[in-house]
Structure 1
Amino acid sequence: MDIKQKVIEKFNEVFGDDIKNLDNIKNFHEQLVIEKKNIKESLTMASTETPSKLFLNVDNIKLEFEKPIKKSNNLLEKINKVLIEDNKTKDVQNDINNIEELEKSLCYLKFLQNIEDISNEMETSMDICDDESMISLYINLVDISYQIETSLCKNLLHYVHETLHYWHNILKDKLSNEYMDILKTLKWPFCGKNVSAIVTPLPDTIIRFKILTEYLLQLQLPDEKHGTTVKSVLLTDFTPVCLPISLLIRPLKQRFIYHFSGNKQTNRRDKPEWFFTQILTWIKDHEKWIDNNVQPVIDSSGFSHIHGKIEFMRGLVQLAVEKLHSELQIVQYDDALFGHFVDEALGFERELRDTLLYPSNQPATVFVLTQAQIFSKWINMEKKYATEKMDSILSATTAWQKIDPYDTDEMKITECADGFLTLLITICDRYKHLPQPGHRLQFLELQLELIDDWRVRLLQLLHQEHCHDPLKSLIPKILNSLNYVSSVLIEWGVTVHYLQLNFFKNKRDAVEVANALSQDNIIIDNEDDENSTIFDDAIGLLKRLENELINEICESIFIDIKNKSKTYIIDKWFSMQNEKQVSSLSLTQSGCLMFQELSLKLHDLHQVLALPIFKLTCKIIAKKLDIYLFNELVLNNKFNVGGAAQLKFDITKNLFTLFGIYCIKPESYFPLMRESCILLNTLLGSAMLMIEAISNGDDDENNGKEILADIGVYKMSTETALMVLQTRTDIGM
């Protein structure tokens, strides 16, 4: 079938689909015959030549196979020879390995012999009291210990360490005893009668002291050089003090334990300031001597990273910290004693940091106070005492008096506001040295809570007030207090201390939100947080109360003024005498009561309110009065020429003058009345033309505005201006 298919395909290829194309079939047949003939001839030739070619190929193949066989035989012989030689080499290698093992053993023995020789030399040096040689040999032992610290020879490491510790203890005891004898000669420590020894040290003794100090500095174990810390039972770790400084502290520590433990009269729980003061006194009495006699030795010995005075301070501070820690476990159940301990501990911390420049990265008493149980007790005590203090401030008989009654200050600061801010400052001073932001934030939350509590207490006082006249009540004094506290909190909010706390608080809140939403990669938009302060919410609540009180005062005053203005409002403005008919204009008689009341109220406000509050109150009262007079007086009356002139005189020469005593440009507070007086007193011809122009340009508001602006009317709309013009009796409309 395949051959048949190929034939069909061949015919289709030659003739295609056109049946008429069969004319070439004869040529195609001849071509096929020729191809058949050629194939037969090639087959005949192949049948005669193939046997000879096959024999030739077989010979060639045989030769090709024989060559690799020969090579493989040669290679096999070589391999056998190499294997014989390798067996001999293996025997030699075993001997070499044995030699190496023997060499290692010999080196091991030599190393042990070296350690033993050093020990023997140290023993000899010790017999002849050659301290310098002993220290040099000890340093060699330390170096050897460093060299083999990565070795896998456990027994060797143990032997070297044991030897090193053995000589360390011997040298430490020997040199320490001699060092303590030298200190006695120097009359160390410089306490009581020995203070004069600071001025007149013995030259030979001080030289020996410096030599021994250098030896003791060199006398360190490897783990001490790496700065291994000793875990304290306290919440923090105290790095061990270097050996010479610890020996300097030893007699002071003995005195401290003697005076501040057991049944000694100086060991009183109600007097923690005694042991704190003693530590500070020792530091102050000895710091210069250490700087002059110990620090130069430390620097010249290659230990410049050690600061002698700080080491000395740290050793003494540790005594105070351990004493504080032990006492707080007992006094934490007595609020009075606990509070006294906290006060003295914070005072001790401030003295260390600010006066003695004790580094902030070194532990002190605050680290004891920030233990979980103690810190919880501390912050609860702070809240308790702060609440009690706030109660006493608010209940004091002079709480609402000015700090200085004879001082004409613009803020009119009350003792209540000043005392409350002092309370907040005191709390801030007590916690600002805490190293952990989380602890500082807890105290900040206490401050914010106290601010809100203070606001609530002011509200309670206001609710207890039953006075019809707000100016004679506590409202102005409370207003002044609110304003002063708010202004101070605004200033505090942009200080470095509170900006840092705001940053930490925002970060903490963002983490809490992320945890609540179970999204580790949540993106919090902090753009608003960057422009906010930590007191914004508290200030907002204080300002809300402040605005409520201001509105209450303004409303009360406005009602009184309105009651005095009834006759003035309904006066006969349509029939008043012309300015030409009287010698001179004077205040309208019916308005005397209103203007008198307004004058008294402004005076009283100025006397009792802080200047910023007073200015705001003036604006509010002026706005209310402006709207009231415009609606009730101007729009509800008719004005002849005399009435218009009289109103203008009352407003510009009396009303503006009253407010001008306390503010600049009082006319800006009364835009409606000022522009009403302009419209009422415009010449009749100009008024008529204005009405006509405005009326004909109803569809063009801007044109009417321009016409009004030409006579000084800017705030009033054209419709309102027409209403004012219609109140003129000389315009018939």
Structure 2
Amino acid sequence: MMDIKKKVVEKFNAELGTDLKNLNKIIHLHEQLTEERKGIEQSLSLASTEAPSKIKAAVAGVEQISNEIDEIVNACEALQKNIAKQLQQNSKTVEVQQHIDKIGDLDKALSYLHLIKFIENTSDQIEASLSAKDDELTITLYTNLTETSCQLQSSTCHHLANYVRDLLHFWHNHLKDKLAMEYNEILKALHWPFCGSQAHAISFLASSYNPQVMLRFKVLTEYLFQLQLPEETMKPSVKSTLLTDFQPVSLPIVILIRPLRQRFIFHFTGAKQTNRQDKPEWFFTQVLTWIKDHAQWIHKNVQPVADSLGFTHVNAKVEFMRGLVQLAVEKLHSELPVVQYDDGLFAHLVDEALGFERELRESLFYPQNQPATVFVLTQAHIFVKWINMEKKYATEKMDAILNSETAWEMLSGPDVDDMKVTECAEAFLTLLMTITDRYNHLPQPGHRLQFLELQLELIDDWRVRLLQLLHEDYEDPLNSIMPRILNTLHYVSTVLIEWGTTVHFLQLHFFKKQFESVESATDKVLMPENAAEEDGSVFEDAVALLQRLEKKLVNEISNSVTLEVKAKSRPYRTDKWFAMQSDKEIASLSVTPSGCPMFQELAARLHALHETLALPLFNQAWRNLATQLDQYLLEEVVTVNQFNIGGSAQFQFDITRNLFSLFGLYTSKPESYFPLTREACILLNMLLGSAMLLLESLERDENTTEVLEDIGIYRMSAETCITVLKNRTDIITQ
């Protein structure tokens, strides 16, 4: 009640406000409220005209809803009855299904019992066939049992699967012992293994074999192949995780290897005299010898048996080799922990292991995907020791090469005469090649790249050592050790460029670019697809440094020769070119007397360069020398002297008949390397009228380029041409 009163007060306050003059609004408010009350009363009155129709519509709607509810109730009751009836029928179906399931279980149990009976019968038949000495039937029954075991591998009947597997192992061991005994007897008849003097008479022995013996050998080999356990049950026993790389070999091969393994163990274990840590080559050589003596016989007599059985996955020769290689790997693996603390023994063992690997791969064609000795050497701790040892011995070898008394002597031979190959250059490249041969068979690119980095480091060390030798004092570079060092640099860089294009180093360049791209890539930056397809070589940076030093030394030698020639040229430069007799006044021209010392020195130096430097270096040197002499003759002779007609003719004779002749021994067009001097001769020996017209044109700067090209001047500038023309005495006197 209080809430209604409060609302009424709020209504009046809202309408009237706080001004007393608004009280006249009460009448209007009263009228408005009265009208609202009448409207409400009319809507609720049953006597009004609108109320009956609305009430009727509402009543009709309620009746319709009530009818629909009754229909739904009736439908639910009917559905309930149907469900009850269906449940009665389903209970009968469940009973039938229970009977069916029970029949299925009984059927499975019966099959289980039948399978057990089959397995037991097969086992009994194997035993009976063994008693009857029917090997063929025995192997057939065994293969049936093997197939059954393979089929049960995916079965949920684990106990049955284990039972069959155990039974299979039992018969496998029993049959293997029986057949192996007979197999060994046959091998004795075949004089297996072929060792000692018998190894050289295998072909004779093969022709003298009893056919019945060979037939029985092939039959037993076939049985042993079929006696092989399923792959699922084969668990090769190895002495270390390293030897897990060796896949098990076929049973016949195991028996064939067994006597060789016994001999290997006898000779290379314990306190035997043949088991020496300083002679690892003995056991490596023995394994290689056995492979050479027996592998071909295995391929000829065992492989056809495997092929006839459809065992396409069996390569008898490779399996035989793998079995013998495993002996060497086991021995190497046992020796390394002992000898790794003795650098000499360790280095010798690694050398022999790599030699063994190389012989296997290259001479005996042992497949690359089969494991061998490098798998042992690339173990982390062994590999670090190995590469450090390589660096140590390579550094010592470099010292020995450079300190040799014959280090800088030239090698003789038609292939090396032009290159002037020194003994130390050949020895250093041999050192690098030896390292390459040692790591060439490593399967992992990362390991090979580490050896490549070692080689690059050795090349840089080699360059630094040569630089240190060049720092020694010498008066005449041409007669010092410098030319031989230069030849060494050039030959080494040339060979490195050739090596960079070989398959081995191209692959390493590819792998190196890949590794560098991966290292530089971030999570947000994708590696470009062609990151490892760039042109180049692994020796690119090393060769660039060698060639930079080579260029520096060539320039130094060329400069020293130029200085010697210039030193002999003083009388020639200061000769009286303005007062020489013309060719008309003398019978014939000859070399200028003042130029003889210079030309003799030049001839001697060119000959010394040719005899001392490799041909490509000599070509660089004499071209540098020609360029410097060309500039020198122009600046120190032509532009600073006055020439009369006789002087001009004499200078041209000296250049064309003497200077060009000296360089003509090494090129067919020597004049092309003295463009400035040749053009100076043209200007000095032009007819007077033509020379004066040319000078006038040059001074007026009228189309100087075309004018000069017309007379054969291409390199000399217009200013220099004017200077040369004004040095002619016949023009000065005009």
Question: Shift of residue 54 of structure 1?
Answer: 11
* Contact kept in structure 2, 1:230 and 1:238, CA below 8 Å: no
Question: Shift of residue 618 of structure 1?
Answer: 0.7
2:138 match? 134
Tell me how far apart the structure 2 counterparts of residues 354 and 615 of structure 1 sit (CA, whole Å).
Answer: 42
Cα displacement string for residues 428-466 of structure 1 (whole angstroms, at most 9, x for unaligned residues)? 1222111111121122122212212222221222223x3
Pick the aligned partner of 1:357 from 365, 371, 394: 365
SS state of the match for residue 579, structure 1?
Answer: coil
1:302 match? 310
The 1:131–1:47 alpha-carbon spacing in structure 2 relative to 1, beyond 3 Å, is: same
Question: Shift of residue 314 of structure 1?
Answer: 0.7
Quick check: 1:530 aligned with 2:538?
A: no
2:719 match? 719
Structure 2 unmatched runs, 5+: 1-46
Amino acid at match of 2:251: L
2:37 match? none
Quick check: 1:324 aligned with 2:337?
A: no
1:661 match? 665
1:643 match? 647
Tell me how far apart the structure 1 counterparts of residues 95 and 88 of structure 2 sit (CA, whole Å).
Answer: 11
Pick the aligned partner of 1:497 from 501, 504, 508: 504
The 1:721–1:68 alpha-carbon spacing in structure 2 relative to 1, beyond 3 Å, is: same
Tell me how far apart the structure 2 counterparts of residues 671 and 236 of structure 1 sit (CA, whole Å).
Answer: 75
Question: Shift of residue 682 of structure 1?
Answer: 0.9
Tell me how far apart the structure 2 counterparts of residues 396 and 57 of structure 1 sit (CA, whole Å).
Answer: 124
TM-score by length of 2: 0.87
Tell me how far apart the structure 1 counterparts of residues 183 and 87 of structure 2 sit (CA, whole Å).
Answer: 73
Structure 1 unmatched runs, 5+: 1-42
Tell me how far apart the structure 1 counterparts of residues 68 and 409 of structure 2 sit (CA, whole Å).
Answer: 126
Tell me how far apart the structure 1 counterparts of residues 58 and 379 of structure 2 sit (CA, whole Å).
Answer: 104
Pick the aligned partner of 1:469 from 464, 476, 480: 476
Pick the aligned partner of 2:674 from 661, 670, 673: 670
2:487 match? 480
Tell me how far apart the structure 2 counterparts of residues 670 and 212 of structure 1 sit (CA, whole Å).
Answer: 89
2:514 match? 507
1:551 match? 555
Pick the aligned partner of 2:687 from 680, 683, 689: 683
The 1:109–1:406 alpha-carbon spacing in structure 2 relative to 1, beyond 3 Å, is: closer
Amino acid at match of 1:490: I
1:8 match? none
Tell me how far apart the structure 2 counterparts of residues 230 and 408 of structure 1 sit (CA, whole Å).
Answer: 54
Q: CA RMSD in A?
A: 2.8
Quick check: 1:631 aligned with 2:649?
A: no
Tell me how far apart the structure 1 counterparts of residues 494 and 371 of structure 2 sit (CA, whole Å).
Answer: 37
2:345 match? 337
Q: Percent identity?
A: 58
Question: Shift of residue 74 of structure 1?
Answer: 4.1
1:24 match? none
Equivalent residue runs for 1:176-575 within 5 Å:
176-192=180-196, 194-195=198-199, 196=201, 197-223=205-231, 232-234=240-242, 237-404=245-412, 409-464=417-472, 466-514=473-521, 519=524, 521-523=526-528, 526=531, 530-575=534-579
Tell me how far apart the structure 1 counterparts of residues 56 and 547 of structure 2 sit (CA, whole Å).
Answer: 123
Tell me how far apart the structure 1 counterparts of residues 723 and 373 of structure 2 sit (CA, whole Å).
Answer: 78
1:14 match? none
Question: Shift of residue 224 of structure 1?
Answer: 5.5
Tell me how far apart the structure 1 counterparts of residues 83 and 400 of structure 2 sit (CA, whole Å).
Answer: 109
Amino acid at match of 1:707: V
Tell me how far apart the structure 2 counterparts of residues 519 and 50 of structure 1 sit (CA, whole Å).
Answer: 74
Tell me how far apart the structure 1 counterparts of residues 184 and 327 of structure 2 sit (CA, whole Å).
Answer: 20
Amino acid at match of 1:497: H
TM-score by length of 1: 0.87
Cα displacement string for residues 316-373 of structure 1 (whole angstroms, at most 9, x for unaligned residues)? 1111111111122212222222222222222222221112111111111222222222
Question: Shift of residue 56 of structure 1?
Answer: 10
SS state of the match for residue 731, structure 1?
Answer: helix
Tell me how far apart the structure 2 counterparts of residues 473 and 48 of structure 1 sit (CA, whole Å).
Answer: 137
1:90 match? 94
Cα displacement string for residues 611-649 of structure 1 (whole angstroms, at most 9, x for unaligned residues)? 111111111111111111111211112222222122111
The 1:75–1:538 alpha-carbon spacing in structure 2 relative to 1, beyond 3 Å, is: closer
1:160 match? 164
* Contact kept in structure 2, 1:235 and 1:371, CA below 8 Å: no
The number of aligned residues is 683
Equivalent residue runs for 1:21-170 within 5 Å:
71-170=75-174
Tell me how far apart the structure 2 counterparts of residues 581 and 490 of structure 1 sit (CA, whole Å).
Answer: 60
Question: Shift of residue 539 of structure 1?
Answer: 1.1
Question: Shift of residue 235 of structure 1?
Answer: 6.3
2:176 match? 172
Quick check: 1:709 aligned with 2:713?
A: no
Amino acid at match of 2:317: K
Amino acid at match of 2:517: A
The 1:228–1:644 alpha-carbon spacing in structure 2 relative to 1, beyond 3 Å, is: same
The 1:74–1:570 alpha-carbon spacing in structure 2 relative to 1, beyond 3 Å, is: same
The 1:52–1:712 alpha-carbon spacing in structure 2 relative to 1, beyond 3 Å, is: closer
* Contact kept in structure 2, 1:235 and 1:368, CA below 8 Å: no
Tell me how far apart the structure 2 counterparts of residues 47 and 459 of structure 1 sit (CA, whole Å).
Answer: 123
The 1:404–1:79 alpha-carbon spacing in structure 2 relative to 1, beyond 3 Å, is: closer
* Contact kept in structure 2, 1:615 and 1:663, CA below 8 Å: no
Question: Shift of residue 292 of structure 1?
Answer: 2.2
Question: Shift of residue 62 of structure 1?
Answer: 8.2
SS state of the match for residue 149, structure 1?
Answer: helix
* Contact kept in structure 2, 1:217 and 1:244, CA below 8 Å: yes
Q: Relative to structure 2, which stretch is displaced further, 575-584 or 673-682?
A: 575-584
Tell me how far apart the structure 2 counterparts of residues 52 and 686 of structure 1 sit (CA, whole Å).
Answer: 138
Question: Shift of residue 188 of structure 1?
Answer: 1.6
Cα displacement string for residues 648-700 of structure 1 (whole angstroms, at most 9, x for unaligned residues)? 1111111111111222211111111110111111111111111222333x3x6
